[in-house]
Amino acid sequence: MFVPSAGAVLVDQGAEVLKIEHPETGDPQRGLVTSGLLPGGAEGVNFMMEQPNHGKRSVALDLSHPDGRETLLRLVETADVFLTNYLPQVRRKLKIDNDDLRERNPAIIIARGTGQGAKGPDAEKAGYDGTSYWARAGMAAVMPTRDGWPMGQAAPAFGDVMGGLAVAGAISSALFKRERTGEASIVDVSLMATSMWQISPLVVASKLFGFSKIPQGGDRRQNQNPGVAVYRTGDDRFVMLVLLQSDKFWADLVTRLGKPEMATDERFADSTARAANCVECITLLDEAFEA
């Protein structure tokens, strides 16, 4: 779903997107119908195919056949962008690599989605959401489960759709650059780089605070800012508080929770006091939310 989802984003922004598929086998994503991963089997909705390809026009071409390749190149002549997740060796074999495309349209923007990037020893290796984005880049490692295992992938295509959004944004930037300068770019986005960018604040924080993963387990009441935490209500719902400037909102919060005395209690009078007495503070807030 990685690169196809980028096309879906562009469709939503008003672009006309043509999806090229083999006339007999189609997109491999269609094979999920027989994988047991989709409800309803062959008669069900292949949401993993439909969601990242909505709004596109479909063209069936066998790119290994000279006529199919020539038809693609004729489409390239009038296209603004060529978007692909084919591996480099496949593009070379089919003769649809950068030079082949630019020979027919020097102004075309070429956007390539990869697992590990366009350079380095893994440039020609395939990659998946669960491997390149979730595991290889470190996303799983920085969010361990409570028993210490790396967390499994959070949702279907979790990294694919984030990577696709990055590809779509890069394409938009390349179109703007071409409009202003006349230069057509080659855009490369990898699942691994997308993930590393997402965890980059934690990478920086790890150097400052001396930890390599998001702390899990333990007493949730040890949170140094009780104003940034999750609380459970009496009817079994959850509320996420984000009071980064907790002093500004503290009195209003505790008054609305029916505990106005916490606004003047010396233990909770300001952020420093609440940090020092976080266990007591969160215990009282738990009681208020559950009431």
What average pLDDT does range 215-231 have in this prediction? 84
pLDDT reported for residue 110: 99
- 49 in Cβ contact with 27 (< 8 Å): yes
Report the alpha-carbon distance of residue 71 to residue 68 in Å, rounded: 5
Report the alpha-carbon distance of residue 291 to residue 287 in Å, rounded: 6
Please indicate whether residue 124 or residue 29 has the higher confidence score (pLDDT).
Answer: 124
pLDDT band at 112 (very low <50, low <70, confident <90, very high): very high
- The DSSP symbol for 96 reads -
What average pLDDT does range 62-91 have in this prediction? 98
DSSP state letters, 173-238: HHHHHHHHH-PPPEEEEEHHHHHHHHTHHHHHHHHHH--SS---SS-GGG-S-TTEEEEE-TTS-E
Q: What share of the chain is helix, strand, coil (3-state, %, to 5)?
A: 50, 10, 35
pLDDT reported for residue 156: 82
- Listed in sequence order, the residues at least 6 apart from 59 whose beta carbon sits closer than 8 Å to its beta carbon are 18, 19, 20, 21, 75
Most confident of 21-30, 134-143, 259-268: 259-268
3-state SS, residue 31: helix
Closest Cα to residue 189, out of 223, 214, 166?
A: 166
Report the alpha-carbon distance of residue 226 to residue 221 in Å, rounded: 8
28-32, 45-49, 117-121: lowest mean pLDDT where? Answer: 28-32
pLDDT higher than 80, residue 276? yes
Question: CA-based angle 153:156:162, to the nearest 5?
Answer: 85
pLDDT band at 21 (very low <50, low <70, confident <90, very high): very high
7-11, 40-44, 195-199, 262-266: lowest mean pLDDT where? Answer: 40-44
Q: What's the burial of 279, exposed, middle or buried (CB within 10 Å: 0-12/13-18/19+)? A: middle
Report the alpha-carbon distance of residue 159 to residue 290 in Å, rounded: 35
What average pLDDT does range 128-140 have in this prediction? 92
3-state SS, residue 240: strand
**β-bridge partners, 267:** none
Other C-beta atoms lying within 10 Å of the C-beta of residue 208: 7
Q: What is the pTM of this model?
A: 0.85
Please indicate whether residue 241 or residue 213 has the higher confidence score (pLDDT).
Answer: 241
pLDDT higher than 70, residue 37? no
What average pLDDT does range 141-145 have in this prediction? 80
- 159 in Cβ contact with 1 (< 8 Å): no
For the chain, which domains are there? 2-201 (3.40.50.10540), 220-290 (3.30.1540.10)
pLDDT higher than 70, residue 141? yes
pLDDT higher than 70, residue 3? yes
Report the alpha-carbon distance of residue 109 to residue 277 in Å, rounded: 57
